[in-house]
Structure 1
Amino acid sequence: MMPKGAKYYWLCQICGWTFVTLSMLFFAYTFSPQKINTNFFIRLFLIFSAGIFTTHIFRIFIQRSQWLLLPVERVIPRMIIGIVVTSLACSLLYMGLVEALDVQSESPRRIEFSTRLLASTLDIGLFIIPWALIYYSYHYINKSRKQEVDTLKLEALVKELELKTIKAHINPHFIFNALNSIRALIDENPGRARTAITELSNILRSSMQSEKSETVPLEKELNIVRDYLALEHIRFEDRLKVEYDVDDDTLNQPVPPMMLQTLVENAIKHGIGRQMSGGVVRIISDFKDDYHELMVQNTGRLNGQVNGDGFGISSTRNRLQLLFGDKADFSIREANGNLVEARVKIPVSLP
């Protein structure tokens, strides 16, 4: 069975050279109707056959020489030479067949062979040039589109792999810290430790489910954070105070899974954990302009560097960039002298 592309090629070949012969017939009928006879139609058929044959050979040569893979500036001189050679070959083939079949046009005088060859080559070249331009332009555009699609597929694959890599780092990081909190309880309060293990299992279950999507509703993310803070409260006791200022309308807004938990974990590790008297972790969620603004504030100082400028912060930036591009923003700063604020701005997702 002939491939689909080959069918279109032969259809274009036949239609194109049929148009050439019909154009010749039209001009002959308009300007020299007395020359239209049996020999004239035979010559038209010879032009048709020679044109298809020589351009098909030209096509094979282009493909085997891989001209279509070359830059345009390197193809142009090759294509010019190819057009000249193909026009000359088509003219020689046509004139040879005309001589062999003895179907020359009647002429009052015999024109020299070289002159007839040059005139025939120029005439046929007028049809080979558009053939070459159409053929190369089609494949050039087709190649460009294919490269664009391949590039988009590659970018999507890279994005997917990067997101999975980031997630693979986040979950073990979180589990390690949560297990440390539980371990501290085993000897002091076994009953609370058992409760903490149940809370951890709830977090892990939610975390595993979040791997199935690139974003989750804020409400689901807050449930994970509440369980996490409950575990951390066991370790810090009265040193850790938690405050929520969450607009209910933001609960359905999509956020990257485990992102808020990572920021809260960072606030405790680099903020509350370094304060002898502990401090507060405040979670704020609200709309501002056309953005969903999510903030995590904690007692502490930056000490001249970005608070927790490690995997937690860098992964947050990377995930926002991968999912939302330049439309999202992340910043972390010191406010009021003893308060660190991590702020995430995500474009509002309309229901």
Structure 2
Amino acid sequence: MRNKISTYWWCQILGWSAYTLVWTFFYFAIRSKPQPFFFQSLFTDAFLGLVITHLMRMVIKGFDLIRFDLQKQIFLLLITALVFALLDSLVFVSLIGLFNWELPQLKQYSFGNRVARALLTTFLFYLIWNFIYFTYHYIQKSRRDELDKIRLQSLVKELELKTIKSHINPHFIFNALNSIRALVDENPQRARTAITELSNILRSSMQSEKLELAPFERELNIVKDYLALEHIRFEERLQVEYDIDEDTLEQPIPPMMLQTLVENAIKHGISQQRDGGIIKIISNFKENHHELIVQNSGTLNSQNNTEGFGITSTLTRLNLLYGKEAKFELNTISDEMVEAKVILPVQVK
């Protein structure tokens, strides 16, 4: 159980205490004659203010009014201040009348008139309270957005470095160059194509730092080059299938994310199978979402490396870019097939 008073409650207590002290100061400094029931009315007013502003905060948080853009927030600031100031005025005037604490000169006015007079002052204080609350959270949200942007940029750079390392490490280069060398005499045209494919992969790795999102078609072409190179190494042990809805080709996705998923499928799936297997890449629209799926031969036990960079970076990037609008799933779809699925919001141009 937490014994520490939150910052919010410290601000509430200190703010309404200051409100009471200021009115007390003016009462003693400028009064011409004693005012009956002044302190009873003042403490009732301050207590009501604390309670009703807290209710107003609960409404603001409950309906998440902070999520709107600045123009709507200003409108909501005025509306919520007016509604709860009216509530405060109704309750305050009712209590003052119940306990007979009204000033003699105010008794001549009707209930509605007294509420309207109280509302003029109460609305001003509630407007100030709302202004402070909305401004604080607007600044906090701006800071969080900026921090998320910095984290995303840092993650993209880290991903680029990891991807470059995975492609230019001696083992990968050795396999790729050995495969190309073996083709030089028997199939010079395929060797030249393989060199181009390797060049495309390295170039795309270095360019990914500059992009936050990239067209799916671009990322698919990079993966095709990568799989073409891997096919030279695995030969008939690697079978590749594509099921691509052409309408998804222009959809933006995080750069190198698809390749990361395919690399995981090769490393934890195909390379672990004596007879190799199939990698199938699927892209389609489903229920107003863009589904990007990589299926591969293998078992989840050998591929369930949730602490690995590929899975961790995918989850983190999706969270930073899309929040709750994107999902990542890693599942077994049969005894011999594993599926990595990314669900992205559709971007409409």
Match of 1:174 among 139, 147, 163: 163
Q: Is the 8 A contact 2:268 2:302 kept in 1?
A: no
The CA distance in 2 between the partners of 1:134 and 1:324, in whole Å, is: 38
Q: Which has the larger radius of gyration?
A: 1
Matches for 1:205-216 after TM superposition, within 5 Å: 205-216=203-214
Encode CA deviations 1:257-292: one digit per residue, 9 max, x unaligned: 111111001000100111122111110111222221
Q: Is the 8 A contact 1:286 1:294 kept in 2?
A: yes
Give the structure 1 partner of residue 286 of structure 2: 288
Structure 1 runs of 4+ off > 4 angstroms?
129-136, 191-197
Q: Alpha carbons of 1:70 and 1:134: their partners in 2 closer, same or farther (altered >3 Å)? A: farther
Match of 2:28 among 85, 88, 91: 88
Q: Which amino acid aligns with 2:146?
A: L
SS of residue in 1 equivalent to 2:152: helix
Give the structure 1 partner of residue 138 of structure 2: 149
Please report the RMSD computed on the Cα atoms of aligned residues, expressed in angstroms: 3.2
Give the structure 2 partner of residue 298 of structure 1: 296
Number of matched residues? 256
The CA distance in 2 between the partners of 1:309 and 1:266, in whole Å, is: 12
Give the structure 1 partner of residue 34 of structure 2: 118
Q: Alpha carbons of 1:258 and 1:83: their partners in 2 closer, same or farther (altered >3 Å)? A: same
Matches for 1:184-263 after TM superposition, within 5 Å: 184-187=175-178, 189-190=180-181, 191=184, 196-263=194-261
The CA distance in 2 between the partners of 1:248 and 1:188, in whole Å, is: 32
Identity among equivalent positions (%) equals: 44
SS of residue in 1 equivalent to 2:332: strand
Q: Is the 8 A contact 1:182 1:193 kept in 2?
A: no
Q: Which amino acid aligns with 1:154?
A: R
Q: Alpha carbons of 1:130 and 1:165: their partners in 2 closer, same or farther (altered >3 Å)? A: same
Q: Which amino acid aligns with 1:89?
A: A
Deviates further, 70-79 or 130-139: 130-139
- 1:241 shift after superposition: 1.6
The CA distance in 2 between the partners of 1:201 and 1:224, in whole Å, is: 10
Q: Alpha carbons of 1:292 and 1:130: their partners in 2 closer, same or farther (altered >3 Å)? A: closer
2:12 counterpart of 1:72? yes
Q: Which runs of 5 or more structure 1 residues have no equivalent in the other structure?
A: 1-67, 92-115
SS of residue in 1 equivalent to 2:19: helix
TM-score (normalizing by structure 2) = 0.64
Q: Which amino acid aligns with 2:29?
A: A
The CA distance in 2 between the partners of 1:306 and 1:322, in whole Å, is: 23
Q: Is the 8 A contact 1:281 1:296 kept in 2?
A: yes
Q: Is the 8 A contact 2:257 2:314 kept in 1?
A: yes
- 1:132 shift after superposition: 7.8
The CA distance in 2 between the partners of 1:264 and 1:182, in whole Å, is: 18
SS of residue in 2 equivalent to 1:118: coil
Deviates further, 157-166 or 135-144: 135-144
The CA distance in 1 between the partners of 2:298 and 2:328, in whole Å, is: 19
SS of residue in 1 equivalent to 2:148: helix
